[in-house]
Amino acid sequence: MTYARGRTYYDADSHIMELPDFLAEYADAEMRERLPRIKVPRVGRLATLVEEAERTRKHSATEVAELLALGDKLIGGPKGYMALGAFNAAERAQALDLLGFARQLVFATFSESLAFSLERAIEERYAAARAHNRAMADFCGKDPRLMGVALLPLDDPQTSVKELEGILQLGLKAVWIPHRPCGGRSPGHNDLDPIWARLAEAGVPFVLHVAGVPLQIDAAWMNTGRPVPTDWLGTGENVRGKDMTSLHQPAETFVGAMVLDGVFDRHRALRGGVIELGAGWVPQMVKRLDWIAEIWSKSDPNLKALTRKPSQQIIEHMAFTPYVYEDVGDLIRQSDSRLYLFSSDYPHAEGGRAPLERFGASLAGCDAAAQSRFYSENFARMFGIV
């Protein structure tokens, strides 16, 4: 018996756990030495597991058997590198058989830190993205349920246009971009319009995802004169409680700029998603953008030229994944049921061990149509699935 049953479920967020040499095999020969190995946490069991996995490229037969024996409880089992299908494509197909999701977006876990890093030379960013995209296409290419997500820096628009064609040829299903003003440009800059136009033409959505920009707030905010708290892994490199106060804000700014710069007015077929950045902020953003457009259109000709209210644009063009602990039913009541997507975050621990149960509880007061939109229909509309 599968974990997800009784309806169609499309999973808008899952991950591959890259092994340290993930990029090396797929990198351009002339750039291979310039791309570092993936930095993998070495906490607890990971201290030895990653070395074993890099050598064998899979879990042991005993480990696979133990994970398969979990059956419909797989999602509540081991997470990260210890999960079934974390880094091996054949195992991932077995995991999906047990999970029961009809489609699953697959994101990087660590590769984006190289492709989007402002500390690396631009050519290295694009080289890392290119290697990742080839590797992701290979991982997802044997199972149509797996929908690989490409990485695309936007720092050099001409290079990005060229790289986008490679992404489309690889058959990847979405394009992850960093949610910052890349190359000193707003996402609504004229130089980026060819990218939005090509994505719209191809029916491939862009996505923003946590880690598309630095995870942590400025260190000064953590300076209290007392010891700085660690993250949930026990280190200091991942998200901490205080970081969560503003983790979504760069994405909110990015989406707002897309709307107010008229990107969705110019590209009516463009679709986008904001993934693993929560959704509690979405209802107020939608309302705020409407009154911004109304009030500032008196002095801003670009806002006056908008042909649709921002709220209408966001409902028609965007979708967002709530965290498992957010009240999706309340978000729908505050805004619109067309805005939200189900996600498991498999095999990351942040997705929880019972996401369907928790989302189901918060959706209990919503009608059947709203629940179907959340679990599958909004995803299908975003990706043109018939």
In tens, the pLDDT along 225-246 reads 999 998 877 777 789 999 999 9
pLDDT category at 214 given cuts 50, 70, 90 is very high
Task: Tell me the average pLDDT of the chain.
Answer: 96
Q: Please tell me what DSSP assigns to residue 30.
A: G
Q: In what order do the strands lie in the sheet with 272-275?
A: 10-11, 103-106, 146-151, 174-176, 206-209, 272-275, 318-320
Same-domain pairing of 236 and 315: no
Residue 35 pLDDT level (bands cut at 50, 70, 90): very high
Please give the pLDDT value at position 234: 73
Q: How confident is the model at residue 350 (pLDDT cuts 50, 70, 90)?
A: very high
Q: Is residue 5 part of a domain?
A: no
Alpha helices in the chain (DSSP H): 46-56, 61-68, 89-99, 112-115, 122-140, 157-170, 193-202, 249-260, 263-266, 282-296, 301-304, 310-317, 328-334, 355-362, 368-372, 378-383
Q: The pTM is what?
A: 0.97
Rounded mean pLDDT of 205-209?
Answer: 99
Does 2 fall in a domain? no
Q: What distance in Å separates the CA atoms of residue 246 and residue 277, rounded to the nearest whole number?
A: 10
Whole-number pLDDT of residue 110: 96
**Over the stretch 300-332, which tens digit does the pLDDT of each residue have?**
999 999 999 999 999 999 999 999 999 999 999
Give whole-number Cα distances, 176 to 74, 86, 106, 323, in Å. Answer: 28, 20, 11, 19
Q: Is residue 1 part of a domain?
A: no
Residue 293 confidence (pLDDT): 98
Residues 210 and 237 sit within 8 Å (Cβ to Cβ) = no
Q: What is the mean pLDDT of residues 147-153?
A: 99
- Count of residues in the chain: 386
Structurally, the chain folds into a number of domains equal to: 2
Q: State whether 79 and 225 are in the same domain.
A: no
Q: Looking at the structure, tell me whether residues 273 and 370 fall in a common domain.
A: yes
* Tokens representing residue 25 in the block: 């095999």
Same domain, 86 and 169: yes
Q: What range does the domain containing 68 cover?
A: 10-210+249-383
Claim to verify: residue 324 and residue 197 sit in the same structural domain: yes
Across the chain, how many H-helices and E-strands are there?
16, 7
31 plus 57 within the same structural domain: yes
pLDDT exceeds cutoff 70 at 47: no
Do residues 296 and 317 both lie within one domain? yes
User: How does DSSP assign 41-55, residue by residue?
Assistant: ---TTHHHHHHHHHH
Contacts of 226 (CB under 8 A, 6+ apart): none
Same domain, 184 and 222: no
